[in-house]
Structure 1
Amino acid sequence: MTNRTRIREDASVRRAQIIDEAIKLIGRLGFRGFTIQGLASQCGLSNAGLLYYFGSKDGVLLALIDEIERREIDVVAPLIPSTTPDAHHEAGAYEAMVQLLRLIVERHRENPEVGRFVIVLQAEAMDPAHPAHDWFMARAEEAETMFERTIAPWSNDARNVSRIIHSLIHGLTRRWYDDPAAFDLGEVFERALRALVSRPEPAR
């Protein structure tokens, strides 16, 4: 391994560490509440050292949301094909659909700091001037489109039901963060999903 390769790898690892710390910090303080100085101090860097990786405060935010989106795609995308029904596996595809959407919800339980970051940031980003506003608008549309395609075989109103599912995920996870011990996030979501999208009747 050359010194240049090692430097690139070290920089990549360091950048990932900064992203993880920034997710925690913004999850507590919000984007408007956190500072480059505070993040740099948390990471043991100078302000200039931190800005070397991201360029600006907005640059930090854009790197964070890009990384979170990449992680979600890596987990979810491979499972989508199993939700496509055919003549012989309609029930199996339905169960795969339920488990896929439940997995999306339970990512909050597996990665609570990321989920808290998204919830806090989304509330701030309702302001059109917020640097993440457009990202959240696009992400909501993409999520609803994915839900619509996934539930379409079992719903006559997939577009509107997909909006309800999207809202259910955000509302339920927001309530769960108030008291994670109060209820089983995945189980409650799954019950609601099954009520919204009916399981196909067995073939006779």
Structure 2
Amino acid sequence: MTGKTRRRMAADDRRSQLIEEATRLISEVGFRRFTIAELARACGLTRAGVLHHYASKEELLLDVLEARDRNDADAVFRDAARHGGDIRTMLDLLVRRNLTQPEIVRLYTVLAVEALDPGHPAHRFFADRWERTIGWLAEYLDGFERPARDVAIEIHSFMDGLQVNWLRDPTIDFAGQWSAFADDLFARRAVAGADTH
């Protein structure tokens, strides 16, 4: 028998289960091939049972994405506060977190590419997320010779590219590659700061 045995759950718990299973399925097959029927089987529900909680797979997708961002942000900020809270610490913690959840990284990578299509239901989500992320990074990146936004784009682009290649070739030392890049980048910040005194 495929799927899970059906059992009654509180509405919030059921939605959490649906988000968790949808995250796994979308990371495996992409959003275009993901179906409500497959999600229903994975959760031991009927298709109508899933649609009782989510009117469409597009609505579910946005909850999947927002839940992932919220969970990551909470974890990184909480850990960073215990370790000093500077931007390098936060980025190091994010890299370490991503290393422990390759399925989630794959989910975001697949969806970010699919969502380049303006007709994709997550197109606006990823466009807004890009601007928020670059803006947030830029707030912490003073002290470089280049504009903070340019440095933020460099960091984001390096990390995204590294993640794609790591998913393709898991033998890549993700943490080591990131550390070498970040050491060089933040050394330039120190030099630029010294030159202004």
TM bucket by the smaller chain? Answer: 0.7 to 0.9
3-state SS, counterpart of residue 103 of structure 2: helix
User: Does residue 190 of structure 1 match 2:179?
Assistant: yes
Q: Distance in 1 between matches of 2:145 and 2:74?
A: 27
Per the alignment, do residues 138 and 173 of structure 1 end up closer, same or farther by CA in structure 2, a change over 3 Å counting? same
User: Does residue 110 of structure 1 match 2:90?
Assistant: no
Shift in Å, 1:24: 0.9
**TM-score w.r.t. length of structure 2:** 0.84
User: Does residue 61 of structure 1 match 2:61?
Assistant: yes
User: Does residue 42 of structure 1 match 2:63?
Assistant: no
User: Does residue 179 of structure 1 match 2:183?
Assistant: no
Structure 2: stretches of 5+ with no match in the other structure:
1-7
Shift in Å, 1:115: 1.0
| 1:159 equivalent in structure 2 | 149
Question: For 1:124, which of 110, 114, 120 is the aligned residue?
Answer: 114
Shift in Å, 1:157: 2.6
Letter of the 2:121 counterpart: P
User: Does residue 144 of structure 1 match 2:134?
Assistant: yes
Structure 1: stretches of 5+ with no match in the other structure:
1-6, 84-91
Q: Distance in 2 between matches of 1:178 and 1:186?
A: 16
| 1:87 equivalent in structure 2 | none
Give the alignment's Cα RMSD to 1 decimal: 2.5
Please say if residues 80 and 89 of structure 2, whose CA atoms lie closer than 8 Å, have aligned partners that are also in contact.
no
| 2:14 equivalent in structure 1 | 14
Letter of the 1:196 counterpart: L
| Identity over aligned pairs, percent | 36
Deviations 1:83-138 (A, max 9, x none): 9xxxxxxxx77xx4222112222222112111111011111000011010011011
Per the alignment, do residues 157 and 54 of structure 1 end up closer, same or farther by CA in structure 2, a change over 3 Å counting? same
Letter of the 1:161 counterpart: V
Q: Distance in 2 between matches of 1:66 and 1:145?
A: 18
Q: How many residues align?
A: 185
Letter of the 1:18 counterpart: L
Shift in Å, 1:22: 0.5
Q: Distance in 2 between matches of 1:97 and 1:43?
A: 39
Shift in Å, 1:51: 0.9
**TM-score w.r.t. length of structure 1:** 0.81
Question: Higher RCO, 1 or 2 (CA under 8 Å, sep at least 6)?
Answer: 1
